[in-house]
Structure 1
């Protein structure tokens, strides 16, 4: 708050509330005059400058305002076009709509923004051996992927339903796939060729197109990517009242294809490999965003490789010592069934067949969060 002044001082003023925010000034400000003005209010025409209240002295008895500092023309006045010009692009197409983007759009006078809806993802957890609560016992183990996948996918910008636990029931899996209205279905387990691995047979029964059937990566080589066929009208809208389809379902009517399916291996770290290499770029594409760019960093220790396949190894970034380069340190607990290493990681190192020596540059795939714990020589490493 302060004073709008015109011309050189001292300035004559009249007692009163002055000009408040949200109220346009009635008249131009005559030379030698001052008027109180609130922050955010529109300045009167012919205003020379605004003087902050703490930088001025108002002599109420004489009705004169004196500046206690030098006054520069235009000071503390936000001119039109200061932040953007008329017709200037504020937000390019493809920008992620963050809270700050919403604020900018509102400030510019927009009531709504055209946006690609968040991709809808269904999570289906397979396996009779999985427990949803309590301690492992009698050959039963805790489901680690169900609790992990929802937050991970939301961090990638998806709208997530589930997880739904189907056990090793082929009919339940078929029904879930046939009635899903999601853009993407993520399954856990059942992608190999064991007696209760039903993903491949059910996809074949539904006439799905298998786009990726295994990847030369460890852990995670049994991962798969498929495209389900579009069923009869309404086949992918189960659970919604007739006539109530979401925006993504309306978009799907334009395409002869149904939702995508990513089959993640049941081992937790193997599933992480599929999340980073298949699910993340697929969600980015469905949302109209570019996939993340990999980059290279020095690895701080020797990393053993697989004889034939690429390895994805959890790493954490470390600042270099004085004069040294920043680098990544591999984390020790990196077996396909382990989550101890990835829980402390902030990236995955792409290790070529045969491994790499300490000091070698490797490609890094970021994880969608900051590291959970400071890097130490402790229990995570």
Structure 2
């Protein structure tokens, strides 16, 4: 690849950056849900309802037997005539008083039936059945739902149970917000995507993390592209990316191989977060390209990149997916760690105790933890702190 001949611009000095809580709130509150689209109930699982989900048919759709036994008409004893099972195409004949028909759970109840007499509550001898009626054991048409009844309100996620209830209520299409798509660009001449690293090389450790964070936030990762440390390659990739959100790992700081800030400037991007007052993860950022695509800048150090993914990427994707804003839980955290006087330090915790030894370039302590705790400069062991769930 040809060498760049342009003079490198003066690097923007590192300032303290935006307060961490403000950066999280910016990513969470800046974007609105993506447009709604219609999909089948099963395909909607994991998405967010854009409109209330209402029943399309009565549930049950007909009078149906709630027990296995005999449908009986009038006072007993009853003469047994015939058998009805669920799924029969022909409507059952009405029952005359003193007549019973053997019936299975879910079968259509004949007109004239006063109750279903369960097997365990009756005695049959030849074609005569006797027993005590203790309950009707008949589910009447529409007793659970009538057309138009509300199942689930807008803004709630479609779970597997939601989808099953929609199918039961005759709903063939749901209106849900489109899940945001993500393109991941992994920058760095030193990054390899397979095999054991040689001298000066490192393996890509971002793809799995970003895949998990994206899925948890309700998005969909379209793929990963490895990019060399060259501004033209980065600019071409950003211009051609067909995704709602572009996550860029590396190229985020102010070094000689860090081109993202300059390239975004040439593309007339608007910065909403440009550096965060935290350690690790200070050079993370959130920008918006003309036309509405989002760019999340993730520091190239893996642990710092994880911090940025949980601070900016996940809240942004959740908002685009239509999920209700959530604040991290705040619980007491114990242990010891150096603090950051100009902002917050994010440390791994197992349960609520700090896992010592975290460094910006290593993930081993995070792998042994459950959360990242966000510790202000004034924190002392036992003080409450926000927790971010580790993917």
TM over 0.5: yes
Alignment check: 8 A CA contact 1:25 1:43 kept: no
2-side partners of 1:30 and 1:333: how far apart? 82
Which 4+ stretches in 1 moved above 6 angstroms?
none
Query: C-alpha displacement at 1:342, in angstroms?
Result: 2.0
Higher relative contact order (CA 8 A, sep 6+): 2
**Compared CA separation, residues 267 and 55, structure 1 to 2 (3 A):** farther
Residue deviations 1:286-312, cap 9 Å, x none? 111123332221223344421221112
For residues 22 and 134 of structure 1, the distance between their equivalents in structure 2, rounded to whole angstroms, comes to 61
* Counterpart position of 2:84: 18
In the alignment, what sits opposite 2:389?
366
TM-score, normalized by length of structure 1? 0.79
Could you tell me which runs of 5 or more consecutive residues in structure 2 were left unpaired when the two chains were aligned: 1-67
Which residue of structure 1 lines up, in the alignment, with residue 207 of structure 2?
146
Q: 1:96-135 residue pairs with structure 2 within 5 A? A: 96-135=157-196
> What CA distance in whole angstroms lies between the structure 2 residues aligned with 1:219 and 1:13?
79
> What SS does structure 2 have at the residue aligned with 1:121?
strand
The total of aligned residue pairs comes to 324
- The whole-number CA distance in structure 1 between the counterparts of 2:136 and 2:334 is 56
| CA distance in structure 2 between the aligned counterparts of 1:114 and 1:202, rounded to whole angstroms | 38
For the pair 1:3 / 2:70, whether they are aligned, the reply is yes
Q: CA deviation at 1:344?
A: 3.0
Over residues 298-345 of structure 1, what are the superposed CA-to-partner deviations in whole Å (9 max), with x where a residue is unaligned? 22334442122111222233xxxxxxxxxx122224221121222233
- Distance in 1 separating the partners of 2:266 and 2:328: 37
For structure 1, the residue ranges without an aligned partner over 5 or more in a row are 230-256, 318-327, 369-381
| Aligned residue number for residue 72 of structure 1 | 134
SS in 2 for 1:13: strand
Greater mean alpha carbon deviation, residues 218-227 or residues 91-100: 91-100
Alignment of 1:268-283 (within 5 A): 268-283=302-317
Residue 234 of structure 1 corresponds to none
Are the counterparts in 1 of residues 209 and 306 from structure 2 also a CA contact under 8 Å? no
Closer, same or farther: CA 54–339 of 1 in aligned 2, 3 Å: farther
Distance 1:103 1:361 in 2: 40
Q: Provide the rounded CA distance (Å) in 2 between the counterparts of 1:217 and 1:102.
A: 41
2:42 equivalent to 1:42: no
Pairs within 5 Å for 1:152-191: 152-191=213-252
SS in 2 for 1:307: coil
Is the contact between residue 303 and residue 355 of structure 1 (CA under 8 Å) also seen in structure 2?
A: no
Aligned residue for 1:228?
289
